[in-house]
Amino acid sequence: MSAINFIHTVFSVIALLAGGFIFFNAKGTRQHVQAGWLYVASMLILLFTSFFIFDLFGSFGVYHALSIISLLTMGLGMYFPLLARSNAGWLIQHYMWMSYSYVGLVMAGGSHLFALVPDWPGWLRMFLFWGLPYILGSFWIFRNRKRILQEVKARKGLKVVVR
């Protein structure tokens, strides 16, 4: 394994762990903020290193394009708490963009699992490693969004618009 692949893998695991902690625990706490910054830093490093990995295509490929989308998703997620708190809907925007940033990371991790079951049909691997994380993540995000945002509102005394 090359040094760049090793760095990419280490920070992918850190981002998965930090993001998982955030995804499944209370929001708006000091631990959430600390894990959030660890997630963002790890994501920036893994996204940066992704542009130096050419194992699959030999040049710029679909995963590099997805890294750009991931950077945009996370960037939008961080824009709202850092620069748009005057917007009444900033918290829901932060929650949605960052939640889908994490779901995308899980799906990207699933891409690495394709090789573990090479004899399975492609459609089954795509469903298990991409479709299922997206469906379950979306279900979790939308099922819990109002409750989570109300908890943050109560904890922080924020005016929050929840739709």
Spell out the per-residue pLDDT of the chain, length 163, in tens.
Answer: 799 989 999 999 999 999 999 989 988 889 999 999 999 999 999 999 999 987 656 667 677 888 999 999 999 999 999 999 888 888 999 999 999 999 999 999 888 887 788 888 989 989 998 999 999 999 999 999 998 888 888 877 766 555 5
Domain boundaries, the chain: 3-156
pLDDT digits (tens, 9 = 90+) for 46-68: 999 999 987 656 667 677 888 99
3-state class percentages of the chain: helix first, strand second, coil last, to nearest 5: 75, 0, 25
- Closest C-alpha to 40, from 84, 100, 101: 101
pTM confidence score: 0.87
Residue with tokens 């995804």: 23
